[in-house]
Structure 1
Amino acid sequence: MGVKTEFRSSEPISDLEKSQINSVRAMLQEKLPNGIPDDVNTDLNLCRWLRGYHGDMEKIVKNFATYLASRKAAGFVGDDFAEKFFELPDIEPFLQYIASSRLQDRQWSDEHNAFLFVERAWSQPKEFIKTFKTSDYLLHCFGYSEMLQQLILRREKKQSADKGPVQFIVIFDLNTVNITDYVNPMSGYMKLWQIRSELWQDWYPEMVQRIYLTNPPRLLGLLWKVARVFLSEENLKRIEIISHTPDLAGKFLPAWLVPKEYGGEFVNTVPPGDETGVSIRRKITSADYYKPYLHYKSHGIERPKPSHKDVSPSDKFIFKIQVPKDKKLLWDFIASGEVQFAIYKGNNRNDLVFPSLHLITNKLNEEGTLNDVSDSEVSFEFQNLSGYFTLKLEYTVAIV
């Protein structure tokens, strides 16, 4: 007998949804200059977007277009992406600080039409934001979400569409969390966690079936308050707090699916994951803190004198520069508030060369190198996300 759970697998596509899928596909084909890539142009995938956005076609088209352009700019494409993700040069250096699932989709449940994902919460939030630029962490989360989506799409390709959309089940371990670190909603790490949650909810809707929070703090009221900062109402309903660890395998999930650490029977034997299937992180020290502006020094120059710009509430500032043939572009910026940032060629926002990301520079500046923009005009776009306060921007661009 299967374990009873109030969250069942996602329903198959309904007749009404089939009609809506055709409509949103037509709208996307018209909006996107190169059409919808084959891997994400499936009924089940578009169904996830329809359900996640409650049928709001305009929002779907806008966010889907930005997601695709950002995915391409980040290099998160290719049939073998799920296998090569952890080896990417922008990802691999940071893996030692993150304890997240290496199970891929091996812990699979037919009953739930879902696989298991396990993650341990940050244990050093104040050190974490001194080690990662916001974009570093968001690109990690973006790529990780894309990897999970590719595993989902592969599963869906192999099985009947009548089973409905594939999802994954999250076990999120709060054992190392000091909940009082998250009381201030304006702290840098709270903002970073909020932006991370915003990214996967906007670009990967309806992929999560259930979120089990294990080893919760005693202050459950505060935990719920923190969760409301990060999650939509829809995803809040997916949370189950497991105050008594054996209940996870006893009441909510089959014992064979749950790692032994959380009261189940599963023991992982595939490296680099531990017995639970989670990568082993190491403690962050001051030697690991990010050192800014090294990309200028590595090209034999000092950081040029920065420019300054005040961006009015909700306004955009676009800075354009022509890059000569056989040259590359170095850049950095600091902003006084939250900014939606993107870099693209010419006036074509669908031709991103740096993903469109919601960024903050509370602790570290943002910076980077663009190698593939030779002989082209490049646009840097900064949108002030505050509707009330002027954004003070300091930025530098150098051609080498």
Structure 2
Amino acid sequence: MELEPCPVSAGVSAGQARRKGHMSMNQQNRMAITTLISGILAASFLALLIGWSVFDIISDIKRAAVLKARNHEVTSALNKLQINLTNAEKSERGYVVGSEVSATPYLAAVEEVRWTTDLIHALVSNDSSQRSNAARLEKLVESKLGTLQFVVEAREASSIQAAQLLMSVEQDKLETDRIKDVLSEMESHENTVLNKALRIRDGAFDKLWWVLAALTFMLFAGAIWQYLRVRKIVQYAAKSEAAIRHLANHDVLTELPNRRLLLERLDTHIDHAHSNAQSLAVMFMDLDGFKKVNDTIGHDAGDELLKCVAQRLKSTIRASDTVARIGGDEFIVVVPKLYGADTAAQIATTLVDAVSRPYCIKGRSIKVSTSIGISFYPKHGVSSGELLERADQALNQAKASGKNRYRFAS
């Protein structure tokens, strides 16, 4: 059997982006040189007299821009923390009173709270006043989470009634109000710092009119340069945000969606299927023989194999389907708009055949297979957690039946 080389992304988009970045930098360099020559020829002597003022103005404007960006980030993080705390409290109450059958939503909400708290601490690390506020906030948040966790553990250890007796609306309100007070104090501090910087910036604009009267042409060139600088910062910020969002939602090794993005898409497909009275399938895949590859050839070969498997899965599924890697050698395929189990069986057979074809890794022929467990909405569950759990159970049945095959959830 002829071995198939693993397809490798050419990275054309990245190369184009880098070339555009170099072009932009060259244009800025040319503009800087032109501005310098024009300033020397038109008003070199006056430039020496007013240089200190121009430097002061630019510094004030840049500082205000940086503080404004930071203010937006900190304020957004503070607001997000309040939302995450509310979600954690709602999830805890839902679990305790019995409307939630699992503590998973509560645990996810707690994780978001801690992540947001760490983000706030990092954002204000350069401000001594805010560092102390962040430390207070962290203690209050941990105290709040400790209270919630105490009730949840009581629910898990004894009964719903016992846990409900431990719930205290007054205690929850007291802890929440203390956290809100610290959040308000931190937001007020950020606004005070920003307003001060903005006032200084406005004063710099007043001085700017005097500078323009002395050297109109020079400051006109400087304004163009400053505009380009600001635009570059905005573009860089947009690219950075997109990169961070991509990293947060995709597996680093295979570039496939990770668990976070998978659950988001699966919930969306479930809502759509519910609204349109449709079905969907969740396929839980696990590679057979992957550990042997790691042990005999090495983890580098194992990583390369995972990337090859990911490429095959992406090229095999439909455009409307989603394939994700959730860890190790486990993959999930979501098949929306499903019109029957036969379609799911055909797709699963295609996936088994695609994965089972030999791979050429480091000049060696490697062969692995896959076992697949399949669950259906709404037959086996109406939530992403239920569908994944039933698919995992079916996967275990497929492995117990001899591997390299698929099984439907019973």
Shorter-chain TM range is under 0.3
- TM-score scaled by structure 2? 0.25
Bigger Rg over Cα: 2
Return the structure number with greater strand share: 1
- TM-score scaled by structure 1? 0.25
Q: Which structure's relative contact order is higher, taking Cα pairs within 8 Å and 6+ residues apart?
A: 1
